[in-house]
Chains A and B, each alone.
Chain A
Amino acid sequence: MDPIFVNSKKALLNLFSAFLPDWTVVLVSIFISIGAIMVLGPFTMMYLTWFERKLLGRIQNRIGPNRVGIFGLLQPIADGVKMLTKEDIVPEGADKAVHLLAPIAIVIPSLLVFSVLPFGRNMTAVNLNIGVLFFLAVSATTTLSIFMGAWASRNKFSLLGGMRSVAQLVSYEVPMVLSVVPVILAAGSLSTVDLVESQGGWNGFKWFVFTPWGFTAFITFYLSGVAECNRTPFDIPEGESEIVAGFHTEYSGMKFALWYMAEFMNVFTVSGLTAVLFLGGWQGAPGLPSWAWFFIKTYALVFVMMWFRGTLPRLRVDQLMGLAWKFLLPLTLVNIFVAGLWFFIPDLRWRVGTAVALLGLTFWALMALNRTALPEKRTYEFAE
């Protein structure tokens, strides 16, 4: 089962190489990979919308979509048809070119980052030696597209959303990148494939998340990732109760669908990268094929993101910035130091002890420093 996708691609290539010159076979190979991603991306997005609606429904004691197809499985297609047939409204006075470009520009990076995700053993479209860096750099460009859309809409809510989005994404980029550093230190490589391979062992369970610094980095990376995707509780750029829909207020029809597509693909890729960096990617117990492990882990993380959405209210702008700069950033910096120490201390007990002590101390110190921002307990009087 494991190499089924790899083998089918090889078989296809063999078929083509029978009657095509050698140099075109390379091109065909590239196109097959691109094609697979182009199918996977939108398909993931479509079914993530379904998954989210079902999940939120169940959390809220509802059933969720159940009308189109069995279990509402055709709902995304119905939605797609609806989106395509809707009128495309561009506000008067909007910058039409940028308004059109923004949703396109946001989908491209979301699709590009699929190329460095290792979906299974030998199942990476491009094994870049700077894969992680590529991922972070490309996904950072979403800021630009969001601001393009917000600015071009000529709507004050959009503009507010765009401003918030820029502030938020730029802030969370920092702890996100810094929390990747310990993992790169441990693996000695920036390639996603090498990162996953360095987590092999212990029957496939030697994941970075099981070390103190790995765990801390996992939490900080995942939280920053949630913020990067504009998901609850960090969804202030599109906070629907405050600024209507934020940057995509003025979008309708297929352009709106593209914003959603980018958001859901980001959810998938960020969860995927978290799985790759900290949860061993496609490593796992040998019973299941490698790609199954990858998807199980990724969807588990996606589930958590949607679970957040079903539970938590959102933070305010200043609190959000505070969390990034006053809490996550110092924590990730200390975490890098801890990870460095980890490789210097030979004895396992000392290693774990130092790491836990240092991280615990930092956590406690940060909590104490941020005391004013923390909730207080209240008491109430009862009058007769």
Chain B
Amino acid sequence: MSPPVLEKTFQASDPVLQDTETFEVNLGPQHPSTHGVFRMNVKLEGETIVSLKPVMGYLHRNHEQIAENMSYLGSMPYTDRLDYFNSMSNNFGYALAVERLAKIDVPERAQYVRVIMAELTRLVNHVSVIGFLLNDLGAFFTPVLYAFREREKILDVFEEVAGSRMMCNYLRFGGVKRDLTPAVTERIKKIVRGFPKFLDEFEGLLTRNEILCIRCQKVGVLPYDLAVNAGITGPMARASGVNYDLRKVDRYSIYDRFKFKIPLGKIGDVYDRYLVRILEMRESLKILEQALKEIPAGPVMNPKFAALAKAPRNFKPPKGEAYGRVEAPKGELGFYLVSDGTAQPWRYHVRAPSLINLTVLEDLCLGHKVADAVIILGSIDIVLGELDH
């Protein structure tokens, strides 16, 4: 019996044995390690990648158009769904944009609460992304579940203050929705105290693991120039040595009050991206410690705008435009708003770090093996909700 596979895979006219062909594989959209519905159209020479085309849009939800037909506050819960791992950072960026647009002051305590939440989010994102990176490397869920143990504590805090674990919808224009109770503050302090111990354990499991090292080192090197030219931001740029952190550069909110450093990698491979994230978590913990120490008492909502939540449709910022950006865990997350004086934004644009960081995927993957493409994608840290917004 003739094997049908042979007949169909190769053209009958091809001199199969003399001439080799490239092998085209679709990684995704249903694939265990594309982090959602993302497709990589990969051409292989043996196992080596000769061409890679990312195909996206499977999760396109018309985010910007929806926001343009929505009251300003109405988009707040939608920003949760951009990068569903860090809804607090997304809220932060959007709130910042609207506050710049309408010139709203934020009370002191609310600033601190926002910073605490944003940094907790960073911890959540970085531990999970490292866990998932290890999953892509083939570790059978152990690092992920250790990471989720810590994430669980932080999500519990989010649930307590915001009402929901992931879709927080917590920030409001001019403050935050609900004050931190002393019990919650105590709990956050406990988390911050316990986190270094977990990080040490996590690093013990991973950082010096030879298999992880040889898999990650010199794989997917992103040179400094390419990182700058392609507009890469976040830990990915910092792993390539680009000293660009909006918390330092833009000094939004009250980040200029805290003492922290920016870890920078030298080579820019997957291993650097991994370790920069670990070091960043340690820096975040420093910010959290300082913020928890200094947090003042007071209102968490600008009283002038407290009524806003009651009638979002009556909130009409003056004509103008504003760009609010934050250092989200994945990179620079920007919201660009143009107001025409009505209750709905005339233009609403999201600068999604996942999308822009992904643009270099092909450059990073060429010449590597299929297995490397998967971990390079994992180290870029994309979330499809944000990528296809």
- A residues sitting closer than 8 Å to B (CB atoms) are 56, 59-62, 93-95, 97-98, 151-152, 154, 156-157, 160, 164, 232-233, 235-236, 239-244, 309-319, 373-376, 378-384
What's the nearest-Cβ distance from chain A to residue B239, in Å?
A: 9
B266 within 8 A of A: yes
**Complex CA distance for A315 and B215, rounded to whole angstroms:** 7
The listed residue (B210, B264, B272) touching A383 by CB distance below 8 A is: B264
* B276 / chain A contacts, CB cutoff of 8 Å: 380
Given contacts A242-B33, A374-B210, A380-B276, contact A93 B141 (CB under 8 A): no
A313 touches B145 (CB 8 A): no
Cross-chain contact A380 with B32 (CB below 8 angstroms) = no
In the complex, which of the residues A56, A97, A151, A241 contacts B374, with contact meaning CB atoms closer than 8 Å? A241
Q: Please state if B140 and A380 are interface contacts (CB–CB under 8 Å).
A: no
Residues of B within 8 A of A (CB): 1, 3-5, 8-9, 23-25, 31-33, 47, 134-142, 145-146, 149, 205, 209-215, 217, 241, 243, 248, 261-267, 271-272, 275-276, 279, 369-372, 374
Query: Contacting B214 at CB < 8 Å: which of A95, A239, A317, A374?
Result: A374
On whether the beta carbons of A60 and B145 are closer than 8 Å, the reply is yes
Rounded to whole angstroms, the CA-CA distance of A378 and B279 in the bound complex is: 13
The residue on A at minimum CB distance from B213 is A375
Point out the residue from B24, B137, B149, B266 that lies within 8 Å of A313, measured CB to CB. Answer: B137
A residues less than 8 Å from B374 (CB atoms)? 241-242
Inter-subunit contact A378/B211 (CB<8 Å): no
Q: Is the CB of B370 within 8 A of A319?
A: no
On whether A309 and B140 interact (CB within 8 A), knowing A98-B3, A151-B3, A378-B272, the answer reads yes
A314 contacts across to B, CB distance below 8 A: 137-139, 211, 371
Q: Are B214 and A319 in contact (CB under 8 A)?
A: yes
Residues in A neighbouring B214, C-beta threshold 8 A: 315-316, 319, 373-375
Chain A residues with Cβ under 8 A from B264's Cβ? Answer: 380-383
Q: Which residue of B lies closest to A57 (CB)?
A: B145
Q: Is the CB of A316 within 8 A of B217?
A: no
- Complex CA gap A156/B47 in Å reads 12
Residue of B nearest to A60 (CB): B145
B271 to chain A, nearest CB (A): 7
B1 contacts across to A, CB distance below 8 A: 95, 97
Chain B: minimal CB distance from A161 (Å): 11
Q: Which residue of A lies closest to B276 (CB)?
A: A380
- Can you name 27 A-B pairs with beta carbons within 8 Å? A56-B140, A62-B145, A98-B3, A151-B5, A232-B139, A235-B138, A236-B371, A242-B138, A242-B370, A242-B374, A244-B31, A244-B32, A310-B142, A312-B139, A313-B134, A313-B212, A316-B372, A376-B213, A378-B266, A378-B272, A378-B275, A381-B241, A381-B263, A383-B248, A383-B261, A383-B264, A384-B248
| Residue on B nearest A52 in the bound complex, by CB | B140
Bound together, the chains give a CA A314 to CA B135 distance in angstroms of 10
* A312-B211, A314-B137, A315-B215 known; A241+B205 contact, CB < 8 A: no
Q: List chain A residues, Cβ under 8 A from B263.
A: 380-383
Are B261 and A233 in contact, with the CB atoms below 8 A? no
Do the beta carbons of A233 and B211 come within 8 Å of each other? yes
Q: How far is the CA of A184 from the CA of B24 in the complex (A)?
A: 47
Known: A61-B149, A93-B5, A373-B214. A241 touches B372 (CB 8 A): no
B3 touches which of A95, A233, A239, A375 (Cβ 8 Å): A95
- Chain B minimum-CB-distance residue to A56: B140
Q: How far is the CA of A240 from the CA of B149 in the complex (A)?
A: 23
Please indicate the chain A residues that have their CB under 8 angstroms from the CB of B146 in the complex. Answer: 60-61
Known: A56-B142, A241-B374. 14 other contacts (CB 8 A): A56-B140, A94-B4, A154-B8, A241-B33, A241-B135, A310-B140, A311-B205, A313-B209, A314-B211, A315-B211, A317-B369, A380-B264, A381-B264, A383-B262
Known: A310-B140, A380-B275. A316 touches B371 (CB 8 A): yes
**Bound CA span A233–B212, Å:** 11
A140 CB to closest chain B CB (Å) equals 23
Bound CA span A382–B280, Å: 10
Nearest B residue to A322 by beta-carbon distance? B214
Q: Would B142 and A60 count as touching, CB distance under 8 A?
A: yes
Q: A97-B1, A160-B47, A313-B211 are in contact. Are A242 and B279 (CB under 8 A)?
A: no
Cβ–Cβ contact B211 & A60, under 8 A:
no
Which chain B residue lies CB-closest to A243? B370
Which residues from chain A contact B141 at a C-beta distance below 8 Å?
56, 60
Per the bound structure, the CA–CA distance linking A157 and B25 in Å amounts to 8
Complex Cα–Cα for A298 and B86 (A): 46
Please give, as numbers and ranges, the residues of chain A lying within 8 Å of B265 by CB-CB distance: 378, 380
Chain B residues with CB below 8 A from A240, complex form:
32, 138
Q: Given the interface contacts A316-B369, A380-B264, does A241 sit within 8 Å of B149 by beta carbon? A: no
Query: Which of chain B's residues have a CB closer than 8 A to the CB of A62?
Result: 145
Bound-state CA distance A71–B210 (Å) is 36
Alpha-carbon distance between A236 and B371 when the two chains are bound, in angstroms: 9
Q: Which 4 A-B pairs have the closest CB atoms?
A: A375-B213, A314-B138, A313-B137, A382-B261
Most buried by A among B1, B146, B370: B370
Look across to chain B and name the residue whose beta carbon is closest to the beta carbon of A314. Answer: B138
Q: Find out whether the CB atom of B32 lies under 8 angstroms from the CB atom of A95.
A: no
Assembled-state Cα–Cα distance A378/B239 (Å): 12
Closest-by-CB residue of A relative to B137 is: A313
Q: Which of A59, A93, A375 has the most CB of B within 10 A?
A: A375
Of the listed residues A56, A154, A311, A316, the one surrounded by the most CB atoms of chain B closer than 10 A to its CB is A316
B139 touches A376 (CB 8 A): no
